Structure 1
Amino acid sequence: MPVDTAKLHHFLSDLLGTSGVIDDPAGYSRYTTDWAGDRRGDPLLVARPRTTDEVATIVTYCHDQGVPMVVQGGHTGLVGGAQPDAERPELVISLERLSRIRAIDPLNFTISVDAGCVLQAVKDAAAEYDCDFPLSLGAQGSCQIGGNIATNAGGINVLRHGMMRHLVLGLEVVLPDGRVWNAMHALHKDNRGYDLKQLFIGAEGTLGIVTGAVLKLTPRPQATRTALIAVPDVPAALALYGQARRSCCDLLSAFELIPRACLELAFEADPDLPDPLDTAYPVYVLLEVAASGPVDLDAMIGQLFEDGMQAGQILDGVLAGSGVQAERLWQIRERMVEGQQQRGEHLRTDIALPISALSDFFDVASQAVAQHSPKTTVIAYGHIGDGNLHFNLLPPAELELAAKKALLHELESTLFALVDEYHGSISAEHGIGRIKQTPYLAGLAPVERELLEGIKRLVDPDELMNAGRILPRRA
């Protein structure tokens, strides 16, 4: 049944005012693309509510009138899950104006926020109370808490603090029929039956719209040390990780694998970025330790360097002497992602493997790519401490766009088949959305798919909310 757009526009304008509705196609561009530049279709309209009540009123109307919806956060997704559908026009519900810090309890180490709060704003608010919200992402200046929850975001500190799923204590969710489920509990221990909030974390907006959250905080680190370490190869990086995890204990907050090709991409994206070491090495590790108590981090890192060099795991390295120098080292990690984007069409993967299998997979997958396409460049890096490897591929530059897409599709199938052999996952933190739906469904056991479809059918029987993401729409 076609949506009466004029009636919808009138309803939204009365509810939100003219500034709360975007109806001009010229203004849609921000709401039709994500960070990667992927685009789907145009929305029916864009609604920009300011409160949970307004979100609930909009969803109730859409439920009653049969209006399909898609919820949006900071437009930093990478799996095509938040763009409006090209085949069935949807109302975009943008949470960009739900941006209040509701409350901070430094003794309970919790912060309550609107889902539209930008991650960096949450971190800044926590810092004012000598606390830290430990989720750390390259996109933290624009991604929103609701999107972090919807995709179960990870980032660089997972090995110490866990995924977003581990950082959420309570949620407020608008269900697909407009009812509000308020579970904004600030309890660190709560064992009353099913933990319903976990249904919505990682569900990519398919089961409801997260409008508020109670998040865990940690004490703000009083000291942080960042080092870039050169190692001979990937096995040495893994061996060094094992040593660092034991010698640094729970103070190890980041351990990133960065091959030399990634540094070259970073320097392409930012020619002013200095090469931290005088000699180019095949593989690097970006390591960070942090403490909020009287711990001698310099001695800890120094001992790790000494032991690693004696074991042949470390060839060279640099320890940041200031916050500015540490930021420059982390800029390498961020700029190399931009460098990939500047190269044009490429394959982004977000796989997870047992940490013990990373080295073998790296070697086997690299050989498989070289055999299939010798001129394709492997750009593989990742969060070693949690088994998340971004095994990305740059196709030969001389190929036409259609040929690049076809080649990368073939190589993706090869990589995902290897991931299955190693009992891994095709998505560590980016989610499924639309882009990864086909390989995701291919790997589902029948009973798992039956359970997932049953949950969706129970919560959103009319398939009006983010339909076609994760699971296909029912025929």
Structure 2
Amino acid sequence: MSESPKLRPPSRDTIAALVRIVGEEHAITDEADMAPYLTEWRDRYRGKAALVLKPGSTEEVAAILACANAARIAIVPQGGNTGLVGGQIPFESGHEVVVSLERMTHVRDIDLASNTMTVEAGLVLAVAQQVADSAGRLFPLSLASEGSAQIGGVLATNAGGMAVLAYGSARDLALGLEVVMADGRVWHGLRSLRKDNTGYDLKDLFIGSEGTLGIITAAVLRLFPKSVERVTCIAGIKELERAPAFFARVYERAGPMLTAFEILPRLGVEFVLKHGSRTRDPLSTPYPWYLLFEFSSPRESDEPRTIAEGLLGEGIEADEIADAAIAGSLTQTQELWRLRELMSEMQKHEGGSIKHDVSVPVARVPEFIVRANQLVELMIPGARPVPFGHLGDGNIHYNVSQPPGMDKAVFLANWEALNAAVHEIVLDLGGSISAEHGIGRMKRDLLPHAKDAVALELMHKIKASFDPNGILNPGKLL
């Protein structure tokens, strides 16, 4: 990234002023101590920073941005550092300041009558789930990284996860926000209203903006009845083309009880069985593909299991699925979901992995995977595609592991070329180059090719209006 003429390296006086806002114990200037904040978990992006600040309140965040805006200092907001497109990592100049929200973890309010809870941005997603559970409610957003991901980060990237099919993405789960603007002003939008038709919905601008328009410091989140009955199923299929028909059958019959519907390739399952723990082969016979899906109900009833059993029988009779099983215990349920949750992580053990987070219409998922697999074999013979993800909403994580024996660096050098080629297929099928991970650094230069020109122009105007000096996460998304 070239330095913006509006931005400047922080002076010693500015750094000292920023440190005073949070206190020396909550400011990191040592390069070694800053390291965990400057590298993302896949090790694709490594940045530098002038310092890392850990504010403990909205007022401190506001003071930081007011100071930075006046001094024209670039700010990189960061949550749990679980992002997959480099949006939370500073560039290599060393002139940017990372603002970590990790200390802002308070649960400000739980309103069971409104079925909401108000939490600060640094609260870890798994903790938010536990807080809701202790209150007798469900917060349904669930990700593989939920033990580290923070509420502010999942909102800033509009994270999706396993339960989008039933509950929607992060955008659908937030009713109100508190946001610190680039100049230090605070937008107090923490409202728990389901209906508020008073003009532009500002919160939806901040959700998914990847910290480029403001820093989310708190949110009002929707809560739901807890699932009392939970039935998890695994089905093996011989041909991927049969999956959409079976999904349509299940969705039509189960309706809102269907809370997840995932697709797993045999190769990915083998990676997890080989390198993971507490896992086992899901069916007695291996199949090229598996469908992992779940029914939930807030009522004690045999209905979810009855529906599951009926659908599995119908699917086998219609030759849409070849074999299936229903988890008979909590342990078996956990084992099945570990196959899905570990799929991305276990690919690390097989060498380099070139990743894509895309979405296409559900009916065209098989066509996308077939075309992409053919392309991969032409471009990198012997490479091993591992497409998996949320079949129910068309979101596929199209990952490609390196050929056995190939040099990792040589393989990863194909990243941009393979991304471009795969994304061409996605766009040809009417899909999106980013389904739930965002744009960040990785896909910023691809956005003009994938986005309508008018939409891009409007996005640039919004950015200029909200952040005229360009201090918020510069060089990301746009």
Q: Same fold (TM over 0.5)?
A: yes
Answer yes or no: is the 8 Å Cα contact 2:402–2:408 preserved in 1.
no
Secondary structure of the residue that 1:468 maps to in structure 2? coil
Instruction: Return closer, same or farther for 1:103/1:310 CA change in 2, 3 Å cut-off.
Output: same
Answer yes or no: is the 8 Å Cα contact 1:171–1:197 preserved in 2.
yes
Shift of the alpha carbon at 1:19?
1.6
Q: What's 1:266 paired with?
A: 272
Choose from 171, 177, 183 the match for 1:171. 177
Work out whether 1:251 is the aligned partner of 2:272. Answer: no
Shift of the alpha carbon at 1:428?
0.2
Q: What's 2:34 paired with?
A: 28
Which deviations, in whole Å up to 9, do the C-alpha atoms of 1:169-223 show, x marking residues without a partner? 0000000010000110000111111101110010000000000100111101111
Which deviations, in whole Å up to 9, do the C-alpha atoms of 1:297-351 show, x marking residues without a partner? 1111110111111111222222111222111111111222111122232111000
Separation of aligned partners in 1, 2:240 and 2:416: 26
Q: Specify the code of the residue in structure 2 equivalent to 1:403.
A: V
Structure 1 stretch displaced more, 219-228 or 365-374: 365-374
Choose from 383, 398, 401 the match for 1:391. 398
Which deviations, in whole Å up to 9, do the C-alpha atoms of 1:428-466 show, x marking residues without a partner? 000000101122122233222211111111111111110
Runs of 4+ in 1 over 6 A off after TM superposition: none
Work out whether 1:137 is the aligned partner of 2:167. Answer: no
Answer yes or no: is the 8 Å Cα contact 2:359–2:433 preserved in 1.
yes
Work out whether 1:121 is the aligned partner of 2:133. Answer: no
Work out whether 1:424 is the aligned partner of 2:407. Answer: no
Instruction: Return closer, same or farther for 1:271/1:178 CA change in 2, 3 Å cut-off.
Output: closer
Answer yes or no: is the 8 Å Cα contact 2:14–2:71 preserved in 1.
no
Separation of aligned partners in 1, 2:429 and 2:196: 35
Q: What's 1:351 paired with?
A: 358
Answer yes or no: is the 8 Å Cα contact 1:5–1:44 preserved in 2.
no
Separation of aligned partners in 2, 1:468 and 1:2: 14
Answer yes or no: is the 8 Å Cα contact 2:238–2:289 preserved in 1.
yes
State the Cα RMSD in Å. 1.4
Shift of the alpha carbon at 1:27?
0.4
Work out whether 1:60 is the aligned partner of 2:94. Answer: no
Q: Specify the code of the residue in structure 2 equivalent to 1:180.
A: V
Choose from 414, 421, 444 the match for 1:414. 421
Work out whether 1:69 is the aligned partner of 2:69. Answer: no
Q: Specify the code of the residue in structure 2 equivalent to 1:302.
A: E
Instruction: Return closer, same or farther for 1:4/1:374 CA change in 2, 3 Å cut-off.
Output: closer
Secondary structure of the residue that 2:414 maps to in structure 1? helix
Structure 2 residue ranges without an equivalent (≥5): 1-6
Secondary structure of the residue that 2:437 maps to in structure 1? coil
Shift of the alpha carbon at 1:271?
5.2
- In the superposition, the TM-score normalised over structure 2's length comes to 0.96
Q: What's 2:319 paired with?
A: 312
Secondary structure of the residue that 1:248 maps to in structure 2? helix
Shift of the alpha carbon at 1:13?
3.4
Structure 1 residue ranges without an equivalent (≥5): none
Separation of aligned partners in 1, 2:371 and 2:8: 51
Structure 1 stretch displaced more, 1-10 or 422-431: 1-10
Separation of aligned partners in 1, 2:18 and 2:39: 23
Q: Specify the code of the residue in structure 2 equivalent to 1:61.
A: C
Separation of aligned partners in 1, 2:332 and 2:95: 48
Q: Specify the code of the residue in structure 2 equivalent to 1:165.
A: R
Answer yes or no: is the 8 Å Cα contact 2:78–2:99 preserved in 1.
yes
Q: Specify the code of the residue in structure 2 equivalent to 1:345.
A: G
- In the superposition, the TM-score normalised over structure 1's length comes to 0.96
Structure 1 stretch displaced more, 330-339 or 203-212: 330-339
Separation of aligned partners in 1, 2:31 and 2:476: 24
Answer yes or no: is the 8 Å Cα contact 2:262–2:292 preserved in 1.
yes
Separation of aligned partners in 2, 1:36 and 1:131: 34
Matches within 5 A, 1:195-210: 195-210=201-216
Work out whether 1:41 is the aligned partner of 2:25. Answer: no
Q: What's 1:222 paired with?
A: 228
Number of equivalenced pairs: 471
Structure 1 stretch displaced more, 371-380 or 197-206: 371-380
Shift of the alpha carbon at 1:2?
4.6
Choose from 76, 91, 100 the match for 2:97. 91
Work out whether 1:332 is the aligned partner of 2:339. Answer: yes
Q: Specify the code of the residue in structure 1 equivalent to 2:440.
A: G
Answer yes or no: is the 8 Å Cα contact 1:269–1:338 preserved in 2.
no
Q: Specify the code of the residue in structure 2 equivalent to 1:325.
A: Q
Instruction: Return closer, same or farther for 1:441/1:284 CA change in 2, 3 Å cut-off.
Output: same
Shift of the alpha carbon at 1:370?
2.1
